Structure 1
Amino acid sequence: MPLLDHLIELRQRLLYSVIALFVAFFVSFFFAEYLYNFLVQPLADILLQRGDDRMARMIFTDLTEVFFTYIKVAFFFAAFITCPIFLSQIWKFVAPGLYKEERKAFGPFLVASPLLFFTGGALVYFLILPLAWEFFLHFETTGGDGTLPIQLEAKVGEYLALTMKLIFAFGICFQLPVLMTLLARAGIATSAGMAAKRKYAIVGVFVVAAVFTPPDPISQISLAIPIVLLYEISIYLAKMVERKRAQREEELNREAGIEE
């Protein structure tokens, strides 16, 4: 196809993806209140268990805060829902220009990437958030003897920002096996090199965990340990890639020898 036809096809596929995003956004915005309550549920469970209904609430200090927070919630869920559509459209645009072996190589990553992101987000919601919120709520004080109480007044917008930061941090970090396996296929990284630099990688993992998570040891360790495990999985996947490459080279050499 001429370059102009490729650009027209790319525009068409991007248009399909954007339309799907807007449709999902409007549907998500209709249910934005319920979706936000879903994100708040880990904190609500802890506050309600304390038996003080007066403190089990969210506040906002800007008239537009809740509205724009619901827009962000709707966009986040819409982007998550339509991510497979974006990936499939990109794949349909790129796949015809790839060889059969290249399609077989890159196809599984399009499936693995959103699944790994979902796994990271689920880990945050069901494990990290309850542990982190429980840890931070221990800093509340009842006051007395001339001191003022320190109590939580969680803001609607700030809660969403922190929760989204954690979900994106875990989701992106869980892409490590995909990234390292692609680098191994491209010959940029090797399993031996990754294994030799394991101790540096572990230090880097804890630094990343300290940057992307709240400043409590539970959240940092909960992110660091899965990433270290994913790094080990990446080494194993890189070995598989190298083994298949070696087998392919042997077959090609054998065929070349037969032809000679």
Structure 2
Amino acid sequence: MSSPSPAEPQAEPQTLMAHLLELRRRLMWLVLVLLVCFFALMPFAQKLYTFVAQPLMVNLPAGTSMIATDVIAPFFVPVKVTLMVAFLITLPHTLYQVWAFVAPGLYRHEKRLIFPVLFSSIVLFFAGMAFAYFFVFPVVFKFLAGVTPAGVSMATDIDKYLSFVLGMFVAFGVVFETPVVVILLNRMGVVSVAQLKTARAYVIVGAFVVAAIVTPPDVISQTLLALPLIVLYELGIVCCRLLGKRAASVSADEE
């Protein structure tokens, strides 16, 4: 009998019950680490919320502050922020548990592709959140404070502010995944570099459409989301070209 191909999974087949037990074990570790991190951060919940609210607080008019319209909001909003921070801190561990569960069923070339994809996805998602926090929020809040009509107090509810911030974090985090998506589509043979270049005009229009849907109805925040999407799309094309040249060079050396 011939030995199995090195490109095929080497793990022994498992029963359905074994898969379910393994999944349960991975989920337990995932939740346990998340809870440990969450409770370790709870003493700093108020400081974490102050950090998240800082971009708005520094742009509020003098004599105004944020408000809490719900009785339990002063407690639960910082708790939500703490849970969000704990999730982000433990995200690498979460993705590792996902990787460890699916890795035995992957081919060798799939394993080589997925690890860089997971790593770059984490880095880019965090980069998108940082871009929103340090660059977009100050610009948007300063603009909104400047256009507030006379006689109107800009007093934002802390729960609604958190919902806005989380939505923007997710939007910019997902947008910054554009190079990964482009590279994956190219490596899977779905689209070629030439097709990606041809689609530029559609991507530009689509970027502003997506920005208009997921951001507040002001031109500044929409532009600050659409422009990075377009730039990251171009970066993905450049990476596809470089990876294509590298693959061609490796094939030539092997021949």
Whole-angstrom CA distance in 2 between matches of 1:209 and 1:28: 33
CA contact (8 A) 1:140 1:152 kept: yes
Q: Partner residue of 2:211? A: 209
Q: What's the offset of the Cα at 1:30?
A: 2.8
Q: What's the offset of the Cα at 1:168?
A: 0.9
CA contact (8 A) 1:184 1:241 kept: no
Q: Partner residue of 1:2? A: 14
Q: Partner residue of 1:123? A: 131
Q: Partner residue of 1:226? A: 228
Whole-angstrom CA distance in 2 between matches of 1:226 and 1:152: 29
Query: Which amino acid counterpart does residue 93 of structure 2 have in structure 1?
Result: I
Whole-angstrom CA distance in 2 between matches of 1:139 and 1:218: 13
CA contact (8 A) 1:141 1:150 kept: yes
Whole-angstrom CA distance in 2 between matches of 1:164 and 1:232: 27
Q: What's the offset of the Cα at 1:130?
A: 0.6
| C-alpha spacing 1:213/1:244, structure 2 compared with 1 (3 Å) | same
Q: Partner residue of 2:199? A: 197
CA contact (8 A) 1:184 1:242 kept: no
Matches within 5 A, 1:24-103: 24-47=37-60, 52=62, 54-55=63-64, 57-103=65-111
Query: Which amino acid counterpart does residue 14 of structure 2 have in structure 1?
Result: P
Q: What's the offset of the Cα at 1:90?
A: 1.4
Query: Which amino acid counterpart does residue 137 of structure 2 have in structure 1?
Result: L
Q: Partner residue of 1:134? A: 142
Q: Partner residue of 1:154? A: 156
Cα deviation per residue 1:172-199 (whole Å; 9 max; x = unaligned)?
1111111121122211122111111110
Q: What's the offset of the Cα at 1:82?
A: 1.0
Query: Which amino acid counterpart does residue 115 of structure 1 have in structure 2?
Result: V
CA contact (8 A) 2:59 2:145 kept: no
> What are structure 2's unaligned runs of at least 5 residues?
1-12
Query: Which amino acid counterpart does residue 23 of structure 1 have in structure 2?
Result: V
Whole-angstrom CA distance in 2 between matches of 1:20 and 1:214: 35
Whole-angstrom CA distance in 2 between matches of 1:202 and 1:139: 28
Q: What's the offset of the Cα at 1:59?
A: 0.8
CA contact (8 A) 2:68 2:158 kept: yes
Q: Partner residue of 1:257? A: none
Whole-angstrom CA distance in 1 between matches of 2:149 and 2:111: 59
Q: What's the offset of the Cα at 1:249?
A: 5.9
Q: What's the offset of the Cα at 1:247?
A: 5.2
Whole-angstrom CA distance in 2 between matches of 1:154 and 1:104: 47
SS at structure 1 position matched to 2:58: helix
Whole-angstrom CA distance in 2 between matches of 1:100 and 1:225: 37
Cα deviation per residue 1:43-79 (whole Å; 9 max; x = unaligned)?
22223xx5x2x21x11111112222312321221111
Matches within 5 A, 1:6-17: 6-17=19-30
Whole-angstrom CA distance in 2 between matches of 1:35 and 1:45: 16
Whole-angstrom CA distance in 2 between matches of 1:69 and 1:170: 22
The runs of at least 4 aligned residues of structure 1 exceeding 4 Å deviation read: 244-252
Whole-angstrom CA distance in 2 between matches of 1:128 and 1:170: 10
Question: Alignment RMSD, CA only?
Answer: 1.9
**TM-score, normalising length: structure 1:** 0.86
Whole-angstrom CA distance in 2 between matches of 1:25 and 1:179: 31
Q: What's the offset of the Cα at 1:245?
A: 4.8
Cα deviation per residue 1:172-231 (whole Å; 9 max; x = unaligned)?
111111112112221112211111111001100011111111222221111111111110
Identity between Structure 1 and Structure 2 (%): 39
CA contact (8 A) 1:58 1:155 kept: yes
Whole-angstrom CA distance in 2 between matches of 1:242 and 1:10: 37
May I ask how many residue pairs the two structures share in their alignment?
A: 242
Whole-angstrom CA distance in 2 between matches of 1:151 and 1:217: 22
**TM-score, normalising length: structure 2:** 0.87
